[in-house]
Chains A and B, each alone.
Chain A
Amino acid sequence: MDLINLYLIPGVVLGCIYALGAVGLSLIYGVLRFGHFAHGDVMTFGAYVTLSAVALLGLSPFAALPIAMLVTALLAILIDRLFYRPFRDRPTIVVVIASFGVALMLRSLVEIFWGADDRSYETGIRRPVTYFDTLVIAPRHVAIIIAAVALVTVLHVFLTRTRLGKAMRAVSDQPSLARVCGIDLDTVSLWAWVFGGALAAAAGVFLATDTQLNPNMGWNLLLPLFAAAILGGIGKPYGAIVGGLVIGLAEELSSFPLFSERPLVPPDYKTGVAFAIMVVMLLWRPQGLFRGRVFE
């Protein structure tokens, strides 16, 4: 039962957080064809907006989530207008470097407004709830998993049922053909930022609920986020969701003491697991796990 309670469920929770972050990376890459290195810091920003909403309005972090998602989506649109769109016709590396700059600016803004210390949404300890005698789950884990599933469902409905969502997938698939069809890149990219920003905010809030707030929390997650996006085939949102779950589970399960009393991989090296998966994927299948279903 320890395997499930202490490794599998935290792995799924971490996987949900990675999935919500990675899906935004993947959407943005699919539409604008660049790796958004400020995505982790957008997550951090969303988490801190929730901190203020909790403090000022007395809401619970989950009740404040819609506010944080909205504010962060607006921030993402603003960042795109100010720092990325001017470089749209320039080589990709220019806008990638711009996103590094944005990452540093966002982190500094968070430190200026909220300080550099660790913070948390609530004080005190909540007891985990025991189900079926042996299954022990913290209520916050249940909430994170349910909320993540709900958000991914909303994204799925957008991508498969709305004209704009289908257009977003079409642009990811074949940008030149999408243009011939008269699909407006500006509108599609706006919605990629809305979803990318809002889902990053949710990921940030879930991470902060699970652990705590810190100005570096999102930046530190950038590697597993990219690993997840690459695992699923960058530019493919569904791949990024699966990739996020796989990376999250792999990181947590890698410290399970399988053969002895000692963890398989020391917990300090968790991020190394994500990195190893990313490197293996880039060498073995740079197009991602799911290319097999789709050929060009």
Chain B
Amino acid sequence: MTKRTRATESEPVPPQDAAEATEAATPPAPEPDRELLPLSGVRVIDVGNFLAGPYAASILGEFGAEVLKVEHPIAGDPMRRFGTPTKRHDASLAWLSEGRNKKSVTIDLRQPEGVNLFLKLVAHSQVLIENFRPGTMEEWGLGWKQLQAANPRLVMLRVSGYGQTGPYRRRSGFAHIAHAFGGLSYLAGFPGETPVLPGNVPLGDYMSSLYGAIGIMLALRHAERTGEGQVIDVAIYEAVFRQLDEIAGAYALYGKIREREGAGSFVAVPHGHFRTSDDKWIAIACTTDKMFERLAEAMERPELASSGLYGEQRKRLAARDQVNQIVIEWVGSLTRAEVLERCLANEVPVGKLNSIADIFEDEHFLARGNLARVPEEGLGEVTVPGVVPTLSETPGRITNLGPPLGNATYEVMRELLGISADEIKRLRQQKII
């Protein structure tokens, strides 16, 4: 354990002085350079399809990286056609949102000339993101060996359903499949009934991308210090499985198989979803006895929190149905607004079960800038989720929505790779780019 040698140590700030410091006493910080973001100067190639992996590139782009989306010259990323279409023929809404900040460069990797161009691009970049089925890039002559030869410092993120190794590596995998294989889907639904989708969104695609972005940041740090690049191997099912707290430990130690719990939770009561008199839903989460006491007060039935009744989690778990019934009846007798007001007055952990319509009306989403309205030519304003996380000094940004197919091909070929205009024309005619 080593002490730091930094400026503050030669002039230590006595703790008592610092304790007296107030915001008013703080000298105004110099305006940070808004142009400089953590990943300024880093170039990322995103050759993936859909979301698992490409979302990692979106995050890097939000925090300053230049992201080149390499796509097939004719079809482009299938994400362009996934979900709800817009007036722009090559852009669904999902593409517009998650293709944010990227530049589109078309290269056909199934042609040898395309492979050569791609390797040149790799030599000019720091990060490569792909999510083909394992073995596909190797078939094209773009395995790690070839890529590393082109750029020894390269950081490569590989996302796949099952990872680059193991008996199932060649199987196709999507978020939905990974939710099932990773153990999440089994847990969504009512006990003994049909397991439902764990929320009608591709969580696993996002989760695997978050792990991918973390891996890239770590590997970039290593590459910049040592000159050594590396591969980050992310399986979508692993990202899902990693979220399941003690499920593995409890099975190994006690043989406990966690089952579906409907709207509730196995560790706490009341902890679930309740319908209000105006046919809306709220979530209540009384994780501790203290919170149940607050709920009992909100219900104007403080006696429920006495130790003789349901004051202890143990007793509430044993009388789960009775406790839930009391809450169901109370919530069902009031509108959502009334329930929220009474719960919040008593600091009960409570929240609306927001639909997207609720979210658009919610003052907190608006105050936090969670809905970014980005103008897009020909479409007016498109509302997309804002950048998370929020950084105080270097907030991320959205410079553009998902680009038209090939919008930066010429720029990249000409300026970055130094290819002549005539040659670019030929490559285009031969549909290599």
The yes or no verdict on A and B being binding partners is no
User: Could you list which residues of chain A lie within 8 angstroms of chain B, going by C-beta atoms?
Assistant: none
